[in-house]
Amino acid sequence: MRFIVVPFVLINMVTQHYPQLGTAFMENIKMYVIFFGGMIVASSTLEAIYRPGSYKRVLFGLSAIAFICMWFFVIFGGGVAEIHYGPYFIRFDMTYLVYIILVGLSLKSLLVLATFSEHRRIEEERARKRRVELAKARAAAARSKRTESVAERTPRISFGDMLRAEFEVSADDEIGSAPGMPPRPTPKGMKVCEVCGAKAHTKDYVCRNCGGWFPSDSIK
């Protein structure tokens, strides 16, 4: 807008009110303004698209500054302007002033280069982290693939495959303990302690093994 529309309007006003004014580019100045102004807008737009620290951003940034310098040089006619009044004319020579301004505009390229060098390290660090993360992801994918291949080669044994023998479940009323062996008969004249099971004479009152008392009806 400021490099195309505003200069275009100002040039129309100057040429309408001061047709005697002339510069080296006055005949095709509108075409130059549209061309260089469009290139400035395009370069600035492309510069804003890319991240700071990228080569494309610094390229379009320097291109925009170069087009701005050429646009300014064309607008001021290279620093030389003439006004004709019949056989007389007035010549304005502002060449040194224009060159000084161009040098000031070109100093912005240092800002573009400084921004590039400052953010370039950040871009390299970001690229390094991206490569490390990609390498970790590839290693994890390779480990997962190896694990799956090993699992596919390993035969799977289920619990049902292990139980090959047929068996029957008995009813609840059939579950119990088997009867034990019948007790041996007690020799004559002996009795058995109900506490420890040791044998003693029928005349003993106390068990010699555990010290338990025998009932009175067992003493003879």
- State the first-to-last Cα distance of the chain, in angstroms, to the nearest integer: 136
Give the model confidence (pLDDT) of 98-157 as tens digits: 899 999 989 988 998 888 888 888 878 888 888 888 888 888 888 887 777 666 666 665
| Each residue's pLDDT tens digit, 60-104 | 999 999 999 998 998 888 888 888 777 777 888 888 988 999 999
**Which amino acid, residue 54?**
S
Please report the pLDDT score of residue 190 as a whole number: 75
Residue 114 shares a structural domain with residue 12: yes
My answer on whether 114 and 212 are in the same domain is: no
From 74, 100, 126, give the residue that closes a domain. 126
Lowest-pLDDT choice from 24-28, 91-95, 209-213, 215-219: 215-219
196: containing domain: 186-220
Same domain, 212 and 122: no
How much of the chain exceeds pLDDT 70, in percent? 78
Number of domains in the chain: 2
Q: Which residues contact 189 (CB under 8 A, 6 or more apart)?
A: 201, 202
Higher pLDDT, 105 or 3: 105
Residues 28 and 119 in one domain: yes
- Nearest partner of 72 among 93, 92, 97, judged by Cα: 97
Together in a domain, 105 and 204: no
Q: Are residues 104 and 207 in the same domain?
A: no
In-domain check, residue 64 = yes
Q: Is residue 171 part of a domain?
A: no
**Could you tell me if residue 15 is inside a domain?**
yes
Q: Which of 103, 126, 149 is the last residue of a domain?
A: 126
Residues 121 and 199 in one domain: no
Of 47, 40, 29, 196, the residue nearest 111 (C-alpha): 47
Structure tokens at 126: 């970001």
In a domain, 174, yes or no: no
